[in-house]
Structure 1
Amino acid sequence: MINRAKIYPLYKEFYHGQGLDSEDALADLYRFAIFYDQLIHAETGIQELNPILRHINAMDSRVVYPYFFMMLEMTSTGEVSQDDVIEVAQIMESYLFRLKVCQLPTNGLNRMVIALCDKAKAVGDYRARLVSLLNASFPDDKKFADSLMNVNLYSLRNNLVKLALVVLEESRTKETIDFDDAQVEHIMPQRLNNDWRIELPNANRINEEMGGVIGNLTLTKYNQEMGNKVYSEKKEVYQTSNVSLTREIAAEYPTWNKESIVKRTEQLAQELISIFPRPVDTLQVEDISGEHTITESIDITGKKPTRLTISDEDIPLDSWRKMLISFMEYIWQLDSRNYEKIKGDSSLNKMLFASQRVPEILDNGTSIETNFSANVVLALISKIAEICDIADEVSYTIK
């Protein structure tokens, strides 16, 4: 990841390194400014790509733009086909949507995008390169479906639930629909009145458990009219809705209760699994030697660390134990209060400070436990980095 303050100095270095003059540089910036405009407005001239970009923009995932800059430029020069770009965009869209629904961290995307922009490592097969890099952290169908059943999708950022409902509707009509003025409707309303409690005796508990899952939500343009009417009254309105997703509710569910919400959530989850599929990696597992972000989910058993990088500072290593010690030394120097944050986490405090079999005395006089497997060391550093708010700045290199 490039620090914002270093962008201009790095660009000057690039400018001189490429032997550019002012006209070349302006032409280069103009070309990519056009790509940027195409991305933010989802108007690329590639019909099937535009709705994918609208969805990515709705998820507020512009961190992937540099990758699409590269793909659009290669399309313009004929280096890749439009079909190639559409295919990798669909994979990225699925990855981002599943990541957000499963509430998994996205702070490793910066370095992943940098890796994706390394054309040499793609060896011409950009789909295979993308799938290989995303594979370890790509939520599988079960985790995705479980999250849809249990996560309050309505409460997630960027109105993710509206995007989910819109793409479900689009999949039924095969058309792009303008739902800018549509609202998300709770079938069982957020605020229950006595009529709901009479019609469904355990309504409060059901609403608390499942009121925000996708099975209890739909789209409407008359949310105010619906209010908190009981289902028997809402169903009559749903029957005449111009939204197929909403009409189906009235046709398929004579009553609305927990079983109805579970059944509809399962149905919609299967549809979303098809709309946002997890790609199959048809290649052999890629050699994981090289640099990785601290948040990547990979098995490093049998690998040896050679370098820890924090905020562009490289620390040479020869063992996982040394990596943990070096990291703990660094965060103390960064801010001595970081240790209090770590000790405030019960599991970290127990593992590092409370019980010590193979202790190491650090430069500040603090003693920490160091007898951990490679994968546990990574997990410890990753968690500490998140607590200290530097996860985006930490990476390591293995061989």
Structure 2
Amino acid sequence: MGEVYDAFKKHARSSSVANAGVESLLAELHAYAGHFCAMALGTEEDSELDRAFHDLRELKVDVAYPLLLELYHDYQSQILSREDFLKAVRTIESYVFRRAVCAIPTNSMNKMFANMGKTLKKDRYLERLEAAFLLLPSYRRFPKDDEFKRELKIKDLYNFRSRSYWLRRLENHGRKERVPVDEYTIEHILPQCDNDPEKVPTVWREELGDDWENVWETYRHTLGNLTLTGYNSEYANRSFAEKCNIEGGFAQSPLHLNKNLGAEGTWNKDAIEGRAAWLAAQAVSVWQDPALDAELLAAYKPSPTITSANYTIEDHPHLASGSMRDLFDAFRKQVLA
């Protein structure tokens, strides 16, 4: 951030900007400030786009703003259609969320997002953007459905960066009558009991079986055991049967997330894993990966030539310091000479 002003001065003094005049530069600043306000400060008037930007803010996708600003400007300039822009925003959301779930390091995403907009050709705009995501190397990859579902089922989602974000997205996906999730709280079906196994009631130990403590420790914060409710205080640490059948229980819940819970006879490892698989199957439709067939994607693969874009020290963080950086830079210059 400390280098922004110097970079701006360099930009303002470049021949193309200087020749266009100060008024043109101010108009550019004003336009991009408006784009940023729409995305980051909630001033977008289009309801669907505003909802998508809200999701990005809740997911804390600040690193993607360089690319998003480019996309928004092209949308405003009618280079990118409104439908394709919305799909692009959702693709960025899916990319960031899938990587977070799969615990892929984020240290290379800032440069990736900053460079993607600069190198993207704008004919067949959305298709090229989707191909760019799908062709990212393994350490920057867009996780495939199988990897995403596998990790989503076992991840500690209760302590995820935004607890309500993913539950809200799952609950409201495809709904025109959206559920005001902010009015609900997160419910552990198998109670968390202040994260103290000594507080797990006997009725739950019996329900979970002989290996109850391991099951409780492994599954209590995972996808299959978490849901939304307006009756959190009433549920407390009650048995599963009581949570289903009391007034306002799971059997009466209007939430999609609680569908079929009332029909479960017991709540144990198998039930939690079964519900996790059901929710994970829905999740790949909520956080979609780009749908390009192999033949089309192959057409976008770059030729195997060595360029400065192929190798950067930032791609290998363990090398990006001190003498190793100097050695790498010297080697790269020699290769590119």
Report if TM-score (shorter chain) is over 0.5. Answer: yes
What secondary structure is seen at the aligned counterpart in 2 of 1:117? Answer: helix
- Give the superposition deviation at 1:273: 0.8
**Are the counterparts in 1 of residues 101 and 152 from structure 2 also a CA contact under 8 Å?**
yes
Name which of structure 1's ranges 41-50 and 144-153 shifts more when overlaid on structure 2: 41-50
Aligned to 1:221: 230
The alignment status of 1:92 with 2:92, answered yes or no, reads yes
Aligned counterparts, 1:234-253, within 5 A: 234-236=243-245, 237-250=249-262, 252-253=263-264
Number of the residue aligned with 1:262: 273
Matching of residue 200 in structure 1 with residue 208 in structure 2: yes
CA-based RMSD: 3.1
Distance 1:246 1:308, change over 3 A: closer
Tell me the amino acid that sits aligned with residue 196 of structure 1: W
Distance 1:56 1:96 in 2: 9
**How far apart are the structure 1 equivalents of 2:323 and 2:256?**
59
Report the equivalent of 2:144: 140
* TM-superposed deviation, 1:48: 2.6
Partner of 1:218: helix, strand, or coil? strand
Assess if the C-alpha contact under 8 Å between 1:132 and 1:285 holds in 2.
Answer: no
Aligned-pair distance for 1:86?
1.2
SS where residue 2 of structure 2 aligns? helix
* Cα drift, residue 104 of structure 1: 1.0
Deviation at 1:25, TM superposition (A): 3.2
Q: Equivalent residues in 2 for 1:293-304 (5 A)?
A: none
Distance 1:227 1:112, change over 3 A: same
Change in Cα spacing, 1:37 to 1:123, as seen in structure 2 (3 Å) is: closer
State the one-letter code of the partner of 2:158: Y
The alpha-carbon deviation at position 40 of structure 1 amounts to 1.8
Gaps of 5+ in 2: 194-199
* Pairwise CA distance, 1:309: 5.0
1:184, 1:217 within 8 Å by CA — same for their partners in 2? yes
What stretches of structure 1 of length at least 5 have no aligned partner?
A: 290-301, 312-322, 336-362, 364-380, 382-395
Q: Which TM-score applies when normalising by structure 1?
A: 0.69
- Say if 1:43 and 1:170 are closer, same or farther in 2 by CA, change over 3 A: farther
Q: Aligned match of 2:185 in 183, 186, 205?
A: 183
Instruction: State how far apart, in whole Å, the 2-side matches of 1:210 and 1:126 are.
Output: 43
The equivalent of 1:360 in structure 2 is: none
Give the letter aligned to residue 157 of structure 2.
L
How far apart, in 1, do the equivalents of 2:26 and 2:279 lie?
48
2:230 equivalent to 1:233: no
Q: Does 1:156 align with 2:170?
A: no
Task: Work out the CA distance in 2 between the residues paired with 1:304 and 1:117.
Answer: 21
Q: Deviations over 1:43-65 (max 9, x none)?
A: 42333322222221111111112
Q: Percent identity?
A: 26
Q: Structure 2 counterpart of 1:228, which letter?
A: N
**Equivalenced residues, count:** 310
Q: 2:196 maps to which residue?
A: none
The structure in which a higher percent of residues are helix is: 2
Deviation string for 1:327-378 (max 9, x for gaps)?
A: 96x745489xxxxxxxxxxxxxxxxxxxxxxxxxxx9xxxxxxxxxxxxxxx
Distance in 1 (CA, whole Å) between partners of 2:232 and 2:76 is: 45
Distance change >3 Å, CA 173–CA 71, structure 1 → 2: same
Residue aligned with 2:274, SS? helix
Partner of 1:114: 114
CA–CA distance in 1 between the matches of 2:100 and 2:266? 31
Change in 2 beyond 3 A, CA 1:147/1:169: same
CA distance in 1, matches of 2:143, 2:131: 14
Q: Cα–Cα, structure 1 residues 272 and 164, in superposed 2: closer, same or farther, change >3 Å?
A: same
Letter in 1 for 2:167: L
C-alpha separation in 2, matches of 1:274 and 1:308: 34
Contact 1:40 1:57 in 2 (8 A): yes
Partner of 1:271: 282
Residue of structure 2 equivalent to 1:25? 25
* Residue 316 of structure 1: aligned partner: none
User: Could you list the per-position Cα deviations for residues 299-331 of structure 1 after superposition, in whole angstroms to 9, with x for gaps in the alignment?
Assistant: xxx7657696558xxxxxxxxxxx99xx96x74
Question: 2:125: which partner in 1?
Answer: 126
